[in-house]
Amino acid sequence: MADSDDPDGHGADSSKEPVDSVDPLAARPSDGPSVLSLGEADQRWSPGDDDGTAECPVPWAQYGAETPAIASGQVPSATDASVDDERFQLSRELSELAFQRRVLHEAEDDRNPVLHRLRFLGITTKNMDEFFMKRVGGLKQQLAAGVTETTPDGRTPREQWEAVLEHAREIFERQSRCFAESVEPALREAGIEIESWGDLTSRERDRLSEHFERQVMPTLTPLTFDPAHPFPFISNLSLSVAVLTRDDDGEERFSRIKVPQNRPRLVPVDAVCANPGGTQTAEAAASTDTETNRFLPLERLIEANLDDLFPDTEVCHSSTFRVTRNAEVRRNEEVAEGLIEMIEDVLRQRRFATVVRLEIADDMPAEVRDLLVEHLDVSEREVFVRPEPLALDGFDAVVDLDRSDQKLEPWTPQRHPRFEGIDADRPDDLFAELRRDDVLLHHPYHSFSGTVQTFLDAAAHDPDVLAIKAAIYRTAPDSKVIGSLIDAAKNGKQVAVMVELKARFDEENNLRWVKRLEEEGIHVAYGTIGLKTHSKVALVVREEDGDVATYSHVGTGNYHSETAKGYVDLGLVTADEAIGGDLVNLFNSFTTHARNREYDRLLVAPENLRSRVTELISNEATVARAGGDARIVAKMNALEDPEIVRELYRAARAGVEIDLLVRGICRLRPGVEGLSESVRVHSVVGRFLEHSRIYYFANGENEQGGERDAAYFVGSADWMTRNLDRRVEAVAPVDDPAIRAELETVLASMLTDNRRRWLMRSDGSYVQLEPVEDGPTLDTHERLAERARESAPDPDGRPSRGEPGRDPEVDLEEVYTDSGES
């Protein structure tokens, strides 16, 4: 997905020295330096040097963009302070907003092609929508309930709510400014124009008005508020037009028009003018024989034709607004008559939930604003005044234009070398390959359909397979994974599926699948009361030579074919009998009332995951105190659990070198003198959503003679309280030396990145690394994509170093719109 003129997608000069000539990962043998030595340059940098004088951690990088602090930088020496001091815990909410700033920077960064930037403006909108629905909604519930208990960082719910709104306001201002001052001018320069009604010719207006009358107006329902009509219900996240009219008696009235969500948000001007009565699509706009792609936002078309909706009435003013409602609607599982009924009720309640945000256009009259504030029951703090257009996530017609010159080069997931030549119709070949050695899958670099889907398809049609079990948290609306499980049941296999009905915002989709699976006679479990099942595991039980063998898949991501094209996830496929036995017990705990408390190899939450992680961190501290080399490298989506943060502080004080690759939320403050000087926190934000979890402990495993060996783990759990205590999670150990080396390479790539990596300071601010002038560009996603491309075999089995083919189904629109529970 790089610019067509730039194979690296970052504007690098192709005449510069090749990356591999200075790449620390280049040609490193599997028995080369351990992960202890990875990113050695980084180990000498203290991110606590917030005066800007700190030397950049790698010689091929310099400091670039920064985000604001979310906490005081004046933390005194912590040598004698308790790790329980609330000053050493950052705000969960503000840390999440710091991540949204890094996401927004992808749109602000003019090194990115303009359609990539526009996509990230939309992603920022979706992410902030979700943040307000979930996190701000939860805070507002606490305020209504009179909760005054403080968070680990010492804030009351009201203090959190006020701080969140202040930081969010600045993000919205930056987002709107980015579109108006940077992205829209760049689009126009590229021949892509977002038009206003006044920009059009009289002929174009006539043709568009004809289109409005025939295609749009019949779908609209203006709702007027007056003594005879109640204030209209405003649905969540709907874009609305507020209209102020005056009748013959001079009385002004307010009306609301919902911009229809089943019509294209952007009207292709030239295509409509050529055929006003036709149904217009993005494809029609792209095929119009003009040098410029021109679009008119649907709300502007509606506002320009209000006289048709309000005949014989004076239209005084119109402007747009948008409402966000609380999604934190819950019921007690233990008193619900049934889990399915409870989830259906929650979905209904969300439609009418409390308003937590009101976005209004900056030209809205004061009387209309006051009316909305009063009837939607919001405070002035919750009103966000923004220049139009609102809802920047509605510009798909532009983002999806066939303009390769304005996009990153599309990425095609590659064939996995171990799955080359494997056909689901020849399952013996697949299971023989899995018995030979464990396999590590790395999406989206490796094809999901050619690995996970092939594994399940082969099992579904293999006469020797006795049973298939899978845990589904999220899956695609047209899931082939579910199709394979249904096929397996039809072929006489015992099939059990754990479907988590409480997967936020996917409840409705999962309800549909539950009903379909049950119609096929498949055993379906809905989850465990009091816990969400977040593990991503599948088990195949097969008869072999008169015995029974198990084949396990333990992943970090969902069984979702579409997100697997944009989420960076790992999957371990193994024939290890102990892991298979653990999964048998785990699935039994899903389908019965009994919970298995002990596991041989797997780390399972809430049973043994927290205690084992704590033990592994403590082991490193013990080694460091004894003068040994101790190192932790942990990659996750979020580090939120206060006690794990304290345990990491204890380890850092003991001298453990710690690198934390945390995509989003991080409570830990690195670089605090006397507390976390040996801790570095990194965040990689780029074309793919970093979603995998990798945990490395240099002294994690006991060996004979009292010596300790390194321990590696992959799995579904972040270091968040909910994952450790309120979710069913599964994390698997990695023993295979080749797979360990592969994980080491992934970590090394991220720790030496100088294009997409951000470093965290002790005040919660981040600074992005940039390539030095005439230096190499080391982009994690591009490097690992190239690595997968080089290792992918040709159809004849030879490694392929050619360009990948195009996959028209790859769509990264939802990549960064992550619910935080995926």
Query: Active-site positions?
Result: 534
Summarize the chain as % helix, strand, coil (round to 5): 35, 20, 40
The angle, 0 to 180 degrees and rounded to 10, between the axes of the packed helices 157-178 and 114-131 is: 160
Element (H, E) at 609: helix 609-625
Euclidean distance between CA atoms 119 and 129, whole angstroms: 15
CB atoms within 10 A of CB 205: 17
DSSP one-letter string for 58-103: STTEEEEEE---SS-S-PPP-SSS-TT-GGGB--HHHHHHHHHHHH
Kindly state the tokens that stand for 2: 């790089």
Euclidean distance between CA atoms 810 and 379, whole angstroms: 42
Closest-CA residue to 748 (of 720, 785, 783): 783
Closest-CA residue to 779 (of 684, 681, 663, 660): 684
Please check whether residue 215 is in contact with residue 305, taking contact to mean a CB–CB distance below 8 angstroms: no
CA distances from 470 to 318, 381, 522, 555, 736 (A): 52, 46, 12, 11, 24
Residue 650 phi, psi (nearest 5):
-60, -40
Please check whether residue 570 is in contact with residue 451, taking contact to mean a CB–CB distance below 8 angstroms: no
> Which residue pairs, CB below 8 angstroms and at least 24 apart, start in 270-279?
270/294, 272/207, 272/208, 272/211, 273/203, 273/204, 273/207, 273/208, 276/207, 276/208, 276/210, 276/211, 276/214, 277/210, 277/211, 277/214, 277/215, 279/215
Please check whether residue 444 is in contact with residue 686, taking contact to mean a CB–CB distance below 8 angstroms: no
CA distances from 320 to 125, 238, 305, 352 (A): 16, 10, 15, 21
CB atoms within 10 A of CB 144: 10
Euclidean distance between CA atoms 389 and 184, whole angstroms: 11
CB atoms within 10 A of CB 494: 14
Please report where in the chains the tokens 């399952």 appear, as a residue. Answer: 427
Please check whether residue 266 is in contact with residue 296, taking contact to mean a CB–CB distance below 8 angstroms: yes
Kindly state the tokens that stand for 728: 């069913």
Beta bridge partners of 244: 254, 317
Kindly state the tokens that stand for 94: 């503000």
Kindly state the tokens that stand for 340: 């399915």
Euclidean distance between CA atoms 455 and 465, whole angstroms: 12
Please check whether residue 93 is in contact with residue 135, taking contact to mean a CB–CB distance below 8 angstroms: yes
Burial code (b: 16+ CB inside 10 Å, e: under 16) for 210-229 equals ebbeebbeeebebbeeeeee
Kindly state the tokens that stand for 611: 């205690």
E strand spans, 362-513: 383-386, 439-443, 465-472, 494-499
DSSP 496: E
CB atoms within 10 A of CB 689: 26
